[in-house]
Amino acid sequence: MMGEYRAEFPADRRYARNHMWALPIAGGSLRFGFTAYAVRLLQDVYFLDWILESGAPLVEKQEIGQIESQKAEASLFSPMSGQLTKINLALLEDPSAINVNTYDAGWLFEITGEGDSLLSPNDYLKHLAAVWKVTQQTIKGQMNE
């Protein structure tokens, strides 16, 4: 639960500390998207842009794009090191799938790499519990209080 809101976390994925899910797909890549937790924080995503193209090498926490939503304008960072193999180009035209189909059509990109820093669903839930106080302040706009 996020306060009074229920956030879904499919158990067939791994998770990144920057609130992205990772689903293994054919060919050894991992497909990434925002978790329901991230979508709840962002609220309606209405703009997405990438500063890298498919084939680019990545290091964990490297800036890869920007996002704008009802709540925030922010940079997006790679959840792991590897090679960016595919970007969901449909989201550039219409990012609403991020809001309504978070764990399927709302996927963001695919990366080939080890993914050693990714968390199990249980470890991700522990991470969320550890950052919940700061998250509540962020939701309420109280970061500087």
pLDDT tens-place string over residues 83-112: 999 999 999 999 999 999 999 999 999 999
pLDDT band per the 50, 70, 90 thresholds, residue 20: very high
How many residues are given for the chain? 145
In a domain, 143, yes or no: no
- The verdict on residue 65 lying in a domain is no
Supply the pLDDT for residue 11.
92
Q: What Rg, from alpha-carbon coordinates, does the chain have? A: 15
In terms of pTM, does the model score above 0.85?
Answer: yes
Average pLDDT over residues 64-86: 93
Q: Where are the beta strands (DSSP E) in the chain?
A: 14-16, 20-24, 29-34, 45-50, 57-58, 63-69, 73-77, 82-87, 109-112
Domain that residue 108 falls in: 14-42+53-60+78-137
* pLDDT for the residue numbered 41: 81
Whether residue 144 is predicted with pLDDT greater than 50 in this model: the reply is: no
Residue 97 inside a domain? The answer is yes
Mean pLDDT of the 53-82 span = 93
Q: What is the structure's pLDDT at 145?
A: 42
- CATH code at position 31: 2.40.50.100
Look at the chain and report how many structural domains it folds into: 1
Residue 61: how many CB atoms within 10 A of its CB?
14
Question: 134 vs 54, 61, 62, 124, 143, CA distance in Å?
Answer: 34, 20, 23, 16, 8
Q: Is residue 113 part of a domain?
A: yes
